[in-house]
């Protein structure tokens, strides 16, 4: 094994996803992931706290991107439109990664513990969005409701995006999902 090899994080992530798909999450060890990536366990732990974090390490960047776009939305934007701007920005993070996202979601769907971790991640996103809406002057109940609604929109849009059989842009699917929500709420 050479002392330095480029893209260690990416190689570990790829190796982990391959092994989780082949063997299952619970049957895969950190040692196996490191070996498949051509790295050491010590290198693995430089990048990830545990083998779950290989699937969730980008949470901070996702929250930062969404909340930045909520903050940057025009002052005149309705709360749901500010959240929509944040959610549509996630297309930047996932550009060209749909196959990876599809495989990642399949691994998560096959493991109850990972599903729980995914729900925690989405709850953290909702809290961050509600806090950002609060900084925009939205009162607490409305901010929480809008943020939770935004998470639901994101979940539906993300599932549609990874399930699509043709090339589609995540931002476009988020926008379409928001439009469907507007139609539903206008008709009641």
**Over the chain (188 residues), what is each successive 10-residue block's mean pLDDT?**
70 96 96 96 96 93 97 96 96 89 95 96 97 97 97 97 90 95 82
* CA–centroid distance for 115 within its chain: 13
Q: Report how far residue 37's alpha carbon sits from residue 13's, in angstroms, rounded to the nearest whole number.
A: 9
> Per-residue b/e over 128-160, b at no fewer than 16 CB within 10 Å?
bbbbbbeeeebeeeebbebbbbbbebbebbbee
For residue 1, the model assigns a pLDDT of: 46
Q: Does residue 21 contact residue 99 with C-beta atoms inside 8 Å? A: no
Q: Is 96 left (phi over 0), alpha (psi -120 to 50) or beta?
A: left
Task: Report the predicted TM-score, pTM, of the whole model to 2 decimal places.
Answer: 0.89
Give 131's DSSP letter.
H
Domains of the chain as residue ranges with CATH? 8-49 (1.10.10.60), 58-186 (1.10.357.10)
Q: Report how far residue 83's alpha carbon sits from residue 128's, in angstroms, rounded to the nearest whole number.
A: 11
Q: 76 burial class (0-12, 13-18, 19+ CB within 10 angstroms)?
A: exposed
């Amino acid at each position: 094994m050479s002392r330095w090899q480029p893209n260690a994080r990416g190689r570990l992530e790829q190796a982990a996803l391959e092994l989780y798909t082949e063997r299952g999450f619970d049957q895969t060890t950190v040692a196996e992931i490191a070996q498949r990536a051509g790295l050491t366990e010590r290198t693995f732990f430089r990048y990830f706290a545990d083998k779950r974090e290989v699937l969730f390490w980008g949470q901070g960047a996702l929250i930062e991107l969404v909340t930045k776009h909520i903050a940057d939305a025009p002052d005149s934007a309705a709360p749901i439109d500010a959240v929509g701007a944040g959610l549509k920005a996630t297309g930047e993070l996932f550009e060209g990664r749909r196959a990876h996202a599809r495989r990642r979601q399949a691994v998560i769907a096959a493991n109850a513990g990972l599903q729980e971790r995914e729900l925690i991640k989405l709850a953290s996103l909702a809290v961050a969005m509600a806090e950002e809406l609060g900084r925009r002057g939205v009162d607490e109940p409305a901010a929480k409701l809008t943020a939770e609604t935004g998470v639901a929109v994101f979940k539906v849009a993300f599932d549609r995006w990874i399930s699509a059989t043709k090339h589609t842009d995540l931002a476009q699917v988020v926008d379409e999902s928001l439009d469907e929500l507007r139609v539903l709420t206008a008709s009641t």
